[in-house]
Chains A and B, each alone.
Chain A
Amino acid sequence: MIEIRDLSVSFGGVRALDGLSARLDDPIVGVIGPNGAGKTTLLNAFSGFVPVASGSLTAFGTDLLAMAPHRRARWGLRRSFQTEEMVDDLTVADNVRVMLDALTMKPREKTAAVERALAFVGLADQGRLLCAGMDLYRRRQVEIAKIVAGSPKVVLLDEPAAGLQPNEAAALRDILVAIPETCGARVVLIDHDVDLIAAICRSTLVLDFGRRLAFGPTGEVLRDPKVKAAYLGLKEAA
């Protein structure tokens, strides 16, 4: 269970998050909103990359804001970035392995966990390849493997399917859906693809200008006239 309470983040005069509150209970929760609504800022607040002006963030009873960014990751906070961050001159396995380096596990357990994570995303026998020259879909696969390796508690995904071909996006979706039951983590998924959100998120949070425009079961939220006006309407107009 993830609890966002009265969270505010500002950059100079811009209020990127403005008193946001929400209690995320479902295995996969969607976050949508127009460009600049504050979605990525919300994830950055979870990660500890932006200064939080006020409010609190707790997950499974742990106060996330009290921990340094790398300690949050060791605790079990995992995330992807809007632009993928694979390291070209590391092998696929090493890109995943780095997530486990700081955890207290035996080396053999770590190797097994890396293999399991790679198998989960469909890269079972490709651990020894370098990431250099890989296409975006494979990089996104490696990214998901990084996220599920070890024992994540909270997984935050920032537009993981952006830039993929429709068939690749569909394949990635099947992987994403399986995250909660595979590793027991709660997933927060940002995406502009409303069909994807509708298909895999039981509840959805809609942001606009850093505020909560709507929050609840995905179907209801997407039918909400406010949401249609602010977000979906904009899309149709465009």
Chain B
Amino acid sequence: MSALEARQQSAAGTDGTGTLRLIRLAGLVATAALVFGIVPEVLGSLWLKVLISAAIYGLAASGVALLYARLGLVSLMQVALVGVGGWVTLKMWHATGLPFEIDMLAGGLAAAIVGALLGLPALRMRGLYFALVTLMAAAAFQIFITATQFPNGGEGWLGVSRSAPAFMPRPLLATTDAAMFRYVVAVAVLCFLAIEACRRSRAGRAWALIRKSEASAMAAGVSVAFYKLAAFALAGFVAGVAGGLLAATIGVLDARSFPAADSVMLFALTLVGGAYAFLGQAITGLLFRAVPALLNDVGVDGDIAFLIFGAALLHALITAPTGIAGQLFGLFGRLIRLGGRR
């Protein structure tokens, strides 16, 4: 069976004997058991914190991937939007004391609005020019947050206290590191499902036409401006939620953790991991946070990671446009076909 036939069949929902579906289901169950059951129990606190941060940035990467895979847009401001979400979440908690979930949603909504506003230039510009605008936005945020710092229970609108910084407590459901890990993964999965639901519905069809050509989208009655901004809002929302989760994990946020360079790195690693499947974003998160930690752990300078990432990016750009995830899926498909022939 050719790859195309396989795609046709899976699109038609008739996976031959149904074995493919079974294998997929088994894979999902096994992954869930591993992530929720085994990983949080066997890993120490240090590595759990690394994986929490990897999951958080994997979630943020899903917004970058959405813009890139669905609309071909390059956004170099995602880590800044994570910062916006973190800022609003902390501010909300210190100002109102409402449950974390509400603060986090407020952070997500705020980052969605900021993301959509910063996406406005994309209605006129494209390619490199728009990417540069987003990079400037990320740099502006870096300057702004270095000057103002994140809220930590102080007085005034900025809420920064230099003498007695206060911590935001972990959400009630996740006071231990193991529980926090499960909490973060659960929120990330919910966000992935929300993005997938959009992709399979009206919004996804509109995005597909816009990507094909804006003229064909308009000729189909699609409001190009609305659906482009909707994609930016959704990408901003997941970034904001990621920022809220980051704030909850540590209790405070450090302005130094949101440099513009990290936004560029997250975009590059989104391509390396694979922008077209959520597995890719999981890989992106691990590359972004776990690989540098791993290198440090074995005594290699964490900056070596940049070299590795640079090489991986070249590899992705030249030979693997669907990233590591795409290659894994390709390999998996070939194995199944081999098995089927026997």
**Contact assessment for B12 and A129 in the assembled complex, using a CB-CB cutoff below 8 Å:** yes
Chain B interface: which of A23-31, A84-92, A225-233?
A: A84-92
Contact of A128 among B12, B220, B223, B224 (CB under 8 A): B12
Task: Identify which of residues 46-96 in chain A touch chain B, using a CB-to-CB cut-off of 8 Å.
Answer: 47-49, 69-71, 73-74, 78-79, 81, 85, 87, 89-91, 94
Contact of B218 among A49, A89, A130 (CB under 8 A): A49
A89 to B204, CA, bound (A): 11
Residue interface bits A119-156, CB-to-B below 8 A is 1, else 0:
00000000011101100000000000010000000000
Taking the closest CB of chain B, its distance from the CB of A52, in whole angstroms, is 16
Contact of A101 among B211, B216, B221, B224 (CB under 8 A): B221
A102 at the interface (CB under 8 A from B): yes
- The answer to whether residues A132 and B4 also contact, given A73-B220, A85-B213, A103-B221 and a CB cut-off of 8 A, is yes
**Contact assessment for B222 and A98 in the assembled complex, using a CB-CB cutoff below 8 Å:** yes
A189 at the interface (CB under 8 A from B): no
Taking the closest CB of chain A, its distance from the CB of B229, in whole angstroms, is 14
- The answer to whether residues A73 and B205 also contact, given A128-B13, A130-B7 and a CB cut-off of 8 A, is no
- A residues within 8 A CB of B215? 47, 49, 81, 85
A97 at the interface (CB under 8 A from B): yes
A170 to B8, CA, bound (A): 28
A91 to B222, CA, bound (A): 18
Where chain B touches its partner, the secondary structure class is helix
A99 at the interface (CB under 8 A from B): yes
Taking the closest CB of chain A, its distance from the CB of B224, in whole angstroms, is 7
Taking the closest CB of chain A, its distance from the CB of B196, in whole angstroms, is 14
- A residues within 8 A CB of B137? none
- The answer to whether residues A69 and B218 also contact, given A89-B208, A101-B202 and a CB cut-off of 8 A, is yes
Contact of A99 among B8, B12, B220, B223 (CB under 8 A): B220
B212 at the interface (CB under 8 A from A): yes
- The answer to whether residues A129 and B11 also contact, given A70-B223, A87-B212, A98-B209 and a CB cut-off of 8 A, is yes
Contact of B8 among A87, A103, A129 (CB under 8 A): A129
**Contact assessment for B12 and A87 in the assembled complex, using a CB-CB cutoff below 8 Å:** no
- A residues within 8 A CB of B209? 87, 98
New A-B contacts (10) at CB < 8 Å, excluding given A94-B205, A98-B220, A102-B223: A69-B219, A70-B220, A70-B224, A74-B221, A85-B215, A90-B205, A94-B208, A98-B209, A129-B11, A146-B220
Interchain Cβ contacts under 8 Å between A and B, 26 examples = A47-B215, A48-B218, A49-B218, A69-B218, A70-B217, A70-B220, A70-B222, A70-B224, A73-B218, A73-B220, A74-B221, A78-B219, A79-B219, A81-B219, A85-B213, A87-B211, A87-B212, A90-B205, A94-B205, A94-B208, A101-B202, A101-B222, A102-B223, A103-B221, A130-B8, A133-B8
Interface residues of A (CB under 8 A from B): 47-49, 69-71, 73-74, 78-79, 81, 85, 87, 89-91, 94, 97-99, 101-103, 128-130, 132-133, 146
Interface residues of B (CB under 8 A from A): 4, 7-8, 11-13, 202, 205-206, 208-209, 211-213, 215-224
